[in-house]
A and B are shown apart, each in its own frame.
Chain A
Amino acid sequence: MSGSLHDVKNDIWMKTVVIGIALLVVGGLAYGVMSVGIASMKHHAWEDTIIPYENAHDHYVEASDEFATADKAWEDAGRPASGEVHDEREDALEHYEHAFEEYDHAEHAKIDAHLSYLTWKTAGITIALMMVVYASFYLVAGFFNSIQPDDDPYAHDGDHEEHHGSASPILMASGILLFMMGFPGFVDTCKAVLGLDYAADYGGFTISVVGFMIAIVGIGNWWREDLAGHHEQVALGQPFGGQDIRKAGMWIFLMSEMMVFASFFSSYLRMRTEWCTQWAVDSGRCVGPADVVTASDLLRHDIGTLLPGAINTFALIISSYTIVLALKTAKDTKWTVSDNKLMAKLFPTRKKAVRNYLMMTLALGSLFIILKLIEWSHLVAEGFDINTQAGSIFYVATGAHGLHVFIGLLVMLFMIFKADTVGYDEKNGRGIEYFGLYWHFVDLAWVAIFPAFYLY
């Protein structure tokens, strides 16, 4: 029998309320600095490139017309190798080439300035929204838990085999159901509030918000139950006899997740075999020009455009390793402070080391979401939106993956809190191990998605 019980007073949860407020401040600052401050400077810089671009464009069109006229005259004159007509055509050609170079340069400058603006704007909004969601969980769940009467973990007369059934998952699922029911109305209302041409649906909006709150309370209650700890239940039946039920359950859950991603992947591959993409042209599978543009066509040809995806790949691998280190540290009864001064400062005690490794995992996962949305904003700006077959499967597959990352981050919020308060050790470290399975699976799914959608 593993697991552990802790006599945790519920007022400990007030700490999450303070953290929630701090997160809101961080989100507000990120929004202010990035989306308002830097993004507005970048917006001015972008606006400054528009007039030179339009001038260069007009100049290019003019030079193009001049060259067309000169070329026609040269053709009509019987393509002379010298003389006035020939010289005029040469001058027009030189002028045209120069104008094209200027236009190309101005266009790239305009695109770069626009993407730079989008980068800062999207980063600020994403961080702010993430902090609002993180804070919602900490504030609502923390406040709800802090006002609950204290439980007595030893109130079952030592009956360690007692089933610790919980209504929290049902509460959470009901909340998610309501949230999804009202979600279209929620989106329409948000769009209407943002000034877009949509009719607000306040009924749907309210259902969605209420559902979200119920889901948070369900999750919060689950957190509270887990914080106090419980004995690990062992499966009695086959085929998992003798194994921890939570671990077996996690693997069966991952099995279903694998099917979800496999269906996205197979849909993509099936469509891809029919498309005449640049890759298919290069491999001789169809005759060019390519008539389908994939996300990888826009991303892989330049290291700058591939960079967010590439950094995300490394971020997920590093985060997989940091969570392994958190588990290893939690289990290590002989853990000692490092001789290295920096490491000793970062990881001063075993308890803080586990917490800090989890915080690093959270930071890397958050970076993943920020870069993902920056990359999406760039793709949409380049015209690659969800209204095409290639865009639809790209955004659905990578979006589903991003959603999994984000859900993992929400779970990690609780794990960080638990690591900071009760702490993880060799007795209750299995919580990290089982969550780690999910987190590694998310990394594993990215191992298939990244080459298929970004490099192929």
Chain B
Amino acid sequence: MGEHKLYAGKDIYFWNFVVLMLFTLLEVGAVYVSGLSVYTVWAILIGVGIVKAYGIAAFFMHLKGDPFIYTRTALFPVLFVALMLWGIGLSNPDSILGLPDWCTPNYDWAYVIE
């Protein structure tokens, strides 16, 4: 599990804690940095969220090092979350009209009824 391994005299839990605290600072700070577009803030929030979620699940919840069946158990509902997010996308008008050009090559817009 690597919990007994020391890095600069401290165990992995300590460093995970430090990373979580720093990334939370970054998360809160991103909203207050002037000049950042909303998309940049969005990207920071999602990126920070992924790093924090990984840190908590992998180290604090011991998924890294525990038998893989626990990771599989934890990932199982993620399938449903992905399906729900897909449903959100499909049920939103932007899922057709708001797609970027690179996502709709040779698309026949005559089929789109507004």
Contacts and interface: CB of A to CB of B under 8 A. Distances in A.
Interface of A: 239-240, 243, 247-248, 251-252, 254-256, 258-259, 262-263, 265-266, 269-270, 273-274, 279, 282-283, 300, 303, 306, 310, 313-314, 317-318, 320-321, 324-325, 328, 433, 436-437, 440-441, 443-444, 447-448, 450-451, 455-456
The secondary structure that dominates the A interface is helix
A243 B67 contact: yes
A251 B45 contact: no
Given A274-B92, A314-B24, A266 B53 contact: no
B21 interface: yes
A451 B69 CA distance: 30
Nearest to A247: B70
Interface string B9-38: 001011001001100100110111000011
Contacts of B87: 266, 270
B102 to A, nearest CB: 18
Contacts of A324: 13, 17, 60
Contacts of B62: 433
B20 A251 contact: no
Contacts of B74: 251, 254-255, 258
Interface centre among A306, A328, A436, A455, by most chain B C-beta atoms within 10 angstroms, is A455
A156 to B, nearest CB: 30
Q: How large is the interface on B (under 10, 10 to 19, 20 to 34, 35 or more residues)?
A: 35 or more
B112 interface: no
B60 A436 contact: yes
Interface in B46-105: 46, 48-49, 52-53, 56-57, 60-62, 67, 69-70, 72-74, 76-78, 80-81, 84-85, 87-88, 91-92, 94
Contact of B60 (A269, A310, A320): A320
A405 to B, nearest CB: 15
Given A300-B31, A437-B61, A269 B88 contact: yes
A455 B39 CA distance: 13
Given A266-B88, A310-B28, A456-B45, 11 more contacts: A251-B70, A252-B73, A259-B77, A263-B84, A283-B39, A313-B24, A320-B60, A441-B61, A443-B60, A444-B57, A444-B61
A273 B53 contact: no
Nearest to A450: B27
25 contacts: A240-B69, A243-B67, A251-B74, A255-B77, A258-B78, A262-B84, A266-B85, A273-B88, A282-B38, A310-B28, A313-B24, A317-B24, A320-B17, A320-B60, A321-B60, A328-B3, A328-B11, A436-B60, A440-B60, A443-B56, A444-B57, A447-B52, A447-B56, A451-B48, A455-B27
Interface of B: 3, 11, 13-14, 17, 20-21, 24, 27-28, 30-32, 37-39, 41-42, 45-46, 48-49, 52-53, 56-57, 60-62, 67, 69-70, 72-74, 76-78, 80-81, 84-85, 87-88, 91-92, 94
A243 B72 CA distance: 14
A247 B70 CA distance: 9
Contacts of B14: 321
Nearest to A438: B61
Contacts of B73: 248, 251-252, 255
A317 B88 contact: no
